[in-house]
Structure 1
Amino acid sequence: MTYKAPTLVPLALAGGQGKTTVALMTGRILASYGIPVLFVDADPQASLTDFLGVDPEDRPTLLEVLTRSPEKLPLFKAIHEVPDNENLFLIPSTDELENANHSLAASPASISVLRNRIQQAGETVKDKDKITANFGVIIIDPPPERSHLTLTSLGSGDRWVICAEANIKGVKSLKRTKGLIETCQSMVPLGEFIGTIPFRAKWTGLNPTRVTRTNIEVMEALVGKELMLPHILESDIYKRAIDELTLPGELGYEALEFPLRSLIERLRPLLGQYAKSVPVLKTEEEE
């Protein structure tokens, strides 16, 4: 049977929750294992496009993918190579992607539009030649708001992870985002919520601050202990890694990647032949 790449969608219905950081760094870690990764920047802010160093120039972006037919724009024409990384690719966006909300609003099944394009549903393409057969993982970065672009991104996901700051704003965003998933679940029956990653957790010495600890406890009460992933520490190392187009581990801080490697571990059952490329996850103490 032809392999079909799983689609991971980090979600957050507020800005600053770590959604793009999780998308970017998870993809970079997977690529470091030799797994080909396709990013889809579904946010008109185009931060992921900028972080990956891709200039769309005059080539097609996600806007054209969503508003033009497969006959007029084959999907592969919108896929850009990411500079200096042979395993990373991107369907980019610009601020003009905002216009896609209007065309999606006019579609009675907007939640499935992006999924159908990525899966090349209804196209006369052999399974082995489809985009999903030629990448190991697809990662979509939606806008941090309730919009048609967010809904169609959610609808394209096989697995969803919620990113939430370890503070009151993050808890509110987590509630709203979890509610959106629950509302849409019946329309995306194969999608699965696989965890919450607390972001910008603050520590004093060897212990989390009271605010961080309290808010993570509230998050755990909201989603359940089994759906809580390790938290991402507030650290300038992530900003530096983004600026230098690399990973925290390449800067000597591999332990900071543990929450993302834990997320990847939850994707392992979907990775088919690529699963053997993913190292066995060490415990947090071993990291």
Structure 2
Amino acid sequence: MRKITVINQKGGTGKTTTAVNLGAALSETGREVLLVDLDPQAGLTESLGVETSGRPTVAELLTGEAGPREAFRALPNLTVLPSSPVLAETEKRLLRERPSDYPLALRDALAGLRGFDFVIVDCPPSLGALSLMGMVYSGSLLIPLQTQYMALNGLEKILGMVKTIREAGFSMEILGILPCMYDVRTSLSRQ
């Protein structure tokens, strides 16, 4: 099973769009794909029309209140582990209750997961606890990056975090940096 975390600390960079479209493209080739929405804004969940009211989400999975199969939602060709705004409080709770090992929460919650060829994790627009969980879980990063000067500052921060994670003994690879929002009319995009 291949795991990929789509990450960038900046909002509006195309993380969710990349995660959804990568998942859809892989599923069209016959692969079994799980999309994990780790963003409390739940953009991936909403973009796929997944209903969350009254049912467990990734928040309940991370706290052990629900198992993976209870929280998963099957769609045609895709399975989604949805998010909701409750995840913001869950993040704080995990930091309080698991201060030394919260980065392992997603890995622990999905331990023993079978039946998927790919798991794609969509992270929030930050480098906080939820993003760290996604990074540690997959060990493989895809970084959508706007073709703008300021986006390079954010990339430096991500690379610094990758270095720190590696120094802590975790495997971490960058699969690629995906240029997004390319505008042929600007010299910065062309560079």
TM over 0.5: yes
1:188–1:16 Cα change, 3 Å = farther
Counterpart of 1:201 in structure 2 is 182
Deviation digits for residues 217-242 of structure 1 (CA, Å, limit 9, x no counterpart): xxxxxxxxxxxxxxxxxxxxxxxxxx
Identity between Structure 1 and Structure 2 (%): 29
What letter is aligned with 2:19?
A
1:79 partnered with 2:72: yes
1:109 is the counterpart of 2:101: yes
- Equivalent residue letter for 2:180: F
Over alpha carbons, which structure has the higher Rg? 1
Q: Does 1:210 align with 2:191?
A: no
Superposition deviation, residue 57 in structure 1: 2.3
Aligned equivalents of 2:12, 2:179: Cα separation in 1:
12
Asked whether the equivalents of residues 165 and 172 of structure 2 are also in contact (C-alpha less than 8 Å), the reply is no
CA distance in 1, matches of 2:178, 2:47: 21
Tell me the residue number matched to 1:10: 6
Count of aligned positions: 189
State yes or no: 1:182 paired with 2:168.
Answer: no
Aligned partners of 1:100 and 1:149 also within 8 Å = no
Give the Cα separation in 2 of the matches to 1:59 and 1:187: 35
Return the structure number with greater strand share: 2
CA-CA distance at 1:13 after TM superposition: 0.8
* 2:35 corresponds to 1:45: no
Q: 1:188 to 1:60 in 2, by over 3 A?
A: farther
**Structure 2: gaps of 5 or more residues:** none
Q: 1:156 is paired with a residue of what secondary structure?
A: helix
Structure possessing the higher relative contact order (Cα contacts under 8 Å, 6 or more residues apart): 2
Q: CA deviation at 1:146?
A: 2.0
1:156 maps to: 137
Alignment of 1:1-287 (within 5 A): 5-68=1-64, 72-82=65-75, 85=76, 87-106=77-96, 107=98, 108-120=100-112, 131=113, 133-187=114-168, 189-204=170-185, 209-214=186-191
Give the residue type in structure 2 aligned to 1:135. Answer: F
Quote the offset at 1:196 in angstroms: 0.6
3-state SS, counterpart of residue 31 of structure 2 = coil
Q: CA RMSD for the aligned pairs? A: 1.4
Report the CA distance shift for 1:89/1:188 in structure 2 as closer, same or farther (over 3 A): farther
Runs of 4+ with >4 A deviation: none
Q: Deviations over 1:75-109 (max 9, x none)?
A: 21111112xx2x20111011111012212212111
Q: Shift of residue 188 of structure 1?
A: 5.5
Tell me how far apart the structure 1 counterparts of residues 169 and 137 of structure 2 sit (CA, whole Å).
Answer: 8
Matched residue SS, 2:110: helix
Once residues 12 and 169 of structure 2 are traced to their aligned partners in structure 1, the CA distance between those partners, rounded to angstroms, is: 26
Per the TM alignment, residue 58 of structure 1 is displaced from its structure 2 partner at its CA by 1.1
More helix by share: 1
Task: Determine the C-alpha separation between the residues in 1 that align with 2:89 and 2:190.
Answer: 41
